[in-house]
Amino acid sequence: MSSEFKYDPEVNYDEATMAQQRQIEKEVATKQQLIGPQEDLSQLEMEFAEDAVYFQKTKCLQKKYSHMRRTRGDGNCFYRAFCFAYFETLLHNRTEYDRFKDIAARSKEMLLSLGFPQFTLEDFHDVFMEVLEKVGSQCALDDLLDTFNDQGHSDYLVVYLRLLVSGHLQKEDEFYSNFVEGGRSVQEFCSQEVEPMGKESDHIHISALTAATGVSIQVEYLDRGSDDSVIGHVFPEGTTPQIYLLYKPGHYDILYK
């Protein structure tokens, strides 16, 4: 920081700040695909070569997992990582596919009954079901990857999952109201922290999405916790995980055993 800041009421600081923010978003977008290719987990170790705590923890992580896929840090990474990792497993699991397709098909009525506008909901549901059909036709993995990396399609999927989370939270309003911070109602929380694009996900979002879809996930938390181990949480508790995500503060990637 060079000279001391002096507030000048004639200057528009907002534009400068926001231009800088857009520039950062653009850089992130050119560097990282929405869903990246599968890579060896040892790549992560190299990333943290300079950081003893994280380095040790990635070593530990490699005992349980072999590969990872990076996702773009655009605030939607949890939804996109969840959706891709799960759809990838559905390519080879007909029973699970049929179960989920039924839930997905019926979810639209659930959301409509909660008062979501049919008009906009329909579009997102339609595209979600279209992509699910594609998974059902056992399309090639590369084909699925292309769909998730096409922002147009990909964001429709993210929106639909956001609405599912919002719907579930509102349906179970009494329970979740205990976990909403800042003296807000569940509905306010949903319109501020769930439905808008780019709003990051926390335990409450993960808990709602896994409950709404009946999909079990394990999240490995890579943070500065005290010992060398990486703590894994299964949502919902006590279930057998179908997909694995890696959490580094503020970001989710996909893990493979």
Partner 1 sequence: MAMEKRLQKELQALVNDPPVGIKVDADQIGQNLSEWLVNVDGAPGSIYNGEKFQLQFKFGSRYPFESPQVVFVGPNIPVHPHVYSNGHICLSILTDDWSPALSVQSVCLSVVSMLSSCKEKKRPPDNAIYVKTCSKNPKKTRWWYHGKQCYHSEYKTSLLGMSSMGINT
Cβ-count burial 40-54 (b if 16+ within 10 Å, e if not): ebeebbeebeeeeeb
Q: How far is the CB of 120 from partner 1 (least distance, A)?
A: 5
**Interface ranges with partner 1 (CB under 8 A):** 1-2, 4-7, 9-18, 116-117, 119-121, 123-124, 152, 155, 159, 162-163, 191-192, 195-197
Which residue, 129 or 234, is less far from partner 1 as judged by CB? Answer: 129
- Of 125, 155, 251, 253, catalytic: 251
- Give burial (CB, 10 Å; 0-12/13-18/19+) of 22: exposed
Q: Which is nearer to partner 1, 194 or 204 (CB)?
A: 194
Smaller CB separation from partner 1, 141 or 197: 197
Contact in structure between 204 and 172 (CB atoms under 8 Å) = no
Closest distance to partner 1 from the beta carbon of 142 (Å): 23
Residue 11: CB minimum distance to partner 1, A? 7
75 or 241: CB nearest partner 1: 75
Of the residues 74, 83, 125, 155, only one is catalytic, namely: 74
Q: Rounded to an integer, what distance in angstroms lies between the CA atom of residue 178 and that of residue 164? A: 20
Q: Is 251 a known active-site residue?
A: yes
* Residue 24, SS3 per DSSP: helix
The answer to whether the beta carbons of residues 216 and 198 sit under 8 Å apart is no
CA distance 153 to 135: 14
User: CB 186 → partner 1: shortest distance, Å?
Assistant: 15
Looking at residue 155, the DSSP 8-state letter turns out to be H
Active site residues: 74, 77, 251
